[in-house]
Amino acid sequence: MAIIGGVAGGGLLGVGFWFARERDRLGDRTLFNVKPNEAGLSGWVKITRDNGVVVAIPRAEMGQGVQTALAMLVAEEMDARWNQVRVEDPPENGVYRNVDILIDGLPFSPEEQGSVVDIAHWMAGKLGGVLGVLATGGSTSVRDAWHPMRVAGAVARDLLLRAASRRASVPVSELLVVDGEVRRKSGGRVATFGELVDHVGDLSAMPAPPLKKPSEFKLIGKPLSRLDIPAKVLGAATFGIDVRRPNLLYAAVLNAPTFGGSATGFKVKGNLPKGVETVIIVPGGIAAIGTSWWRANKLLQEGIEVQWQPGPEPDLDSAALWRRYEGLMQDGKPALTRTLGEEKKPATVRPIEATYRAPYLAHTTMEPMNCTALVTRQGDKNGVEVWMPNQSPTLMRLIAGKTADVPQAEVTVRTTFLGGGFGRRAEVDLVRQAVTCAMAMPERPVQVLWSREQDIRHDYYRPMALARWRAELDTSGGALKLVSVAKRQVAQSPADQFATRVIGLPSQGKPEGNAVENPPYAFPFYKLEAVVPDGSVPVGFWRSVGHSHTAFFDESFVDELAVALKKDPFEFRRELLAKNPRHLKVLETAAKEAAWGQPLPAGSGRGIALRASFGSIVAQVAVIDGSTLQVKRVTCAIDCGPVVNPAIVRAQMESGIIYGLSAALYGEITLANGAVEQSNFPDYDAVRLADAPAMAVHLVDTGSSSIGGVGEPGTPPIAPAIANAIFAATGKRLRSLPLRLG
């Protein structure tokens, strides 16, 4: 969420910001919901009398394994046993802010250096401390938690040693923590964690002890069992759709058919049916509220006439929008222009040009969009409670308070498990509608639930994008030689729109940061022009955001360059990555494990692609059947720096591959008469289990100490890997997504 540029541009950074003292990331020992028979060791960890270790997890668990990974960081430094670790949601507090999510949204490539980059990173870090935003996204959870949660574990271990020393009258120097208990170095247990609950509270704070060296890790790097799985397997996990409160009502929603539209009135045909209490106008549409969601939804579909105020472009269709983008490709003013290297003009050149297209995409989270809200009135004071699968309780709390005109202190947001997030659940439209419904039914909780049709037709889409690559080859010598490449792309900016619609900041017209990152290849000369169009179609963060389409553009064209230069696509990339050893090792690992260069069955093809995103480097090789376009096998290599849990990394790579594969083969949102044409999985399909490829994931250790994300980097390379495999199998170069031979 690249909010920092908008916040700074909006004049919200005053003198107070520059001199703001960063909050202590450890937090007070009483912060973490300390109950009887518990003792807080910091805002991140507490111990229980039954010898348990409870870790605060301020990030949303949406299937990515964040509860497990973050708990491992604390347990490692604390020397706790894994089977004594539990997790809980902490209260909303700035201690748990996500700083990396702001830094990651800056419009710089990871390799860019200099004073401007350093100052921007510093500003983002300070802003994170001032705003205290709790958010899950950008594959930043482990990156942001790597230091503070390990420090919390080390401080907890120190407190336990000092408490045991005082209790047993044994010098701290003679004690150590092993397997979740304090022991003498000479052998013998001194105290369990539970026995120290009453002995840590009055100990003075001490500087954090040194953190472990990687060679000392006992848990980090191990495929430990996930903490969220038992509840999910046993059916005990609570997702947003599972929330059940006393006297709960249900609300079905019908959103305006065109983007930016609204309801100005409605008429119910006859009387309200049994099970429906009322119908109201909500932001973006109307809602029917009752004791049965099914009856409420049926009324909206069959028993009501709505007067709609159309959006700003009620006649918009995909063909017209592509023509608009083509005009911007020719004449649009770039919001960003960047050059790298020195441009040279040989006597004779051969130009190569290719244009690529990527459509709008919906998120289609497995759990339908939902939010439950309760508004209570006590005299002249109102309070709001929200139960919701969301990626930023800070933003949900902000919007809930504004909607109900309630002070932030009177709003409580409870984050449930998320049945998929992918950026969609960072949006605030559901909380606006749910609180509006709850205001109409005070003292009764109301659960807003969207149908799949409403979800697909009223998403915040991955932007459609148009890109034109152009290269010049020197033909004056004996062999062709690459002398320059240039890319011009047209795409809306999710970050720009997000800051405008959620926080109300003025549009900056800047491109999405990770849509303009520099390629890792050593091109002699590189030029980028990014045009950011206005548009009524709402766009948002989609798994891997800008990387999801720019990887397809970039890696497809690199393959085309290799063909033009009569070079093997893998070997050509190796040449261009000679000065990037991390990228090179990942590429070579993927190629080796995929048996690059070895014969394939007739009609099959093998394609390769590389993308660095969210601090990680991923290369993938896809093998496809050229007649059916079925992807048979995907080999994936990733360098994400230090690996917390290899099983989670592999699962996330497989998940990212399947998500990207569905988009590459099927994903396409089209417009007609100002509205989305697709409505459900029959016309917005996904890869089914029977068609899923065999997948092998290889973790590459390049010696980097930089922490990379894993939730999103598996998605970007798969589309270009498949497209390049299709060319290898059929000789047809597909430059538009989704990939279709016909």
Share of the chain above pLDDT 70, in %: 93
Angle between helices 646-665 and 547-564 (to 10 degrees): 80
d(CA 643, CA 701): 9
Amino acid, res. 626: G
d(CA 677, CA 183): 66
240 pLDDT higher than 70? yes
User: Per-residue pLDDT tens for 384-436?
Assistant: 999 999 999 999 999 999 999 999 999 999 999 999 999 999 999 999 999 99
Share of the chain above pLDDT 90, in %: 88
The three-state secondary structure class of 153 is: helix
The arithmetic mean of pLDDT across residues 499-526, rounded, is 92
The arithmetic mean of pLDDT across residues 156-180, rounded, is 97
Q: What is the CA radius of gyration of the chain?
A: 27
Amino acid, res. 458: H
User: Per-residue pLDDT tens for 45-61?
Assistant: 999 999 999 999 999 99
Residue 72 and residue 92 in contact, taking contact as beta carbons nearer than 8 Å = no
Helix (H) or strand (E) segment spanning residue 728: helix 718-730
The arithmetic mean of pLDDT across residues 102-120, rounded, is 61
Q: Which structural domains are found in the chain, ordered by start? A: 4-233 (3.30.365.10), 240-311+369-449 (3.30.365.10), 318-360+460-730 (3.30.365.10)
Mean pLDDT lowest among 95-109, 213-227, 659-673: 95-109
d(CA 392, CA 394): 5
Q: Sheet containing 694-699: give its strands across.
A: 604-613, 616-625, 631-639, 694-699
| Per-residue pLDDT, 382 | 85
Amino acid, res. 546: G
346 pLDDT higher than 70? yes
Candidates 437, 470, 467, 180; CA nearest to 353 is 470
The arithmetic mean of pLDDT across residues 252-256, rounded, is 98
Residue 499 and residue 505 in contact, taking contact as beta carbons nearer than 8 Å = yes
Residue 92 per-residue DSSP state: S
Query: CB-based contacts of 656: which residues, under 8 Å, 6+ apart?
Result: 543, 544, 711, 712, 713, 714, 715, 718
9 pLDDT higher than 50? no
d(CA 61, CA 192): 30
Q: How many helices (H) and strands (E) does the chain have?
A: 19, 27
Calculate the alpha carbon distances from 236 to 90, 265, 276, 565 in Å.
Answer: 20, 42, 30, 58
| Per-residue pLDDT, 118 | 67
Calculate the alpha carbon distances from 35 to 39, 47, 496 in Å.
Answer: 8, 10, 42
d(CA 421, CA 404): 25
Average pLDDT, the chain: 93
Candidates 266, 268, 295; CA nearest to 282 is 266
The arithmetic mean of pLDDT across residues 439-453, rounded, is 97
User: Per-residue pLDDT tens for 29-86?
Assistant: 999 999 999 999 999 999 999 999 999 999 999 999 999 999 999 999 999 999 999 9
User: Per-residue pLDDT tens for 447-489?
Assistant: 999 999 999 999 999 999 999 999 999 998 888 999 999 999 9
3 pLDDT higher than 50? no
User: Per-residue pLDDT tens for 531-584?
Assistant: 999 999 999 999 999 999 999 999 999 999 999 999 999 999 999 999 999 999
Amino acid, res. 522: A
27 pLDDT higher than 50? yes
Could you tell me the pTM of the whole model?
Answer: 0.94
The three-state secondary structure class of 85 is: strand
Cβ neighbour number for residue 113 with a 10 Å cutoff: 10
| Per-residue pLDDT, 16 | 35
Cβ neighbour number for residue 418 with a 10 Å cutoff: 24
Query: CB-based contacts of 416: which residues, under 8 Å, 6+ apart?
Result: 238, 239, 240, 242, 243, 387, 388, 389
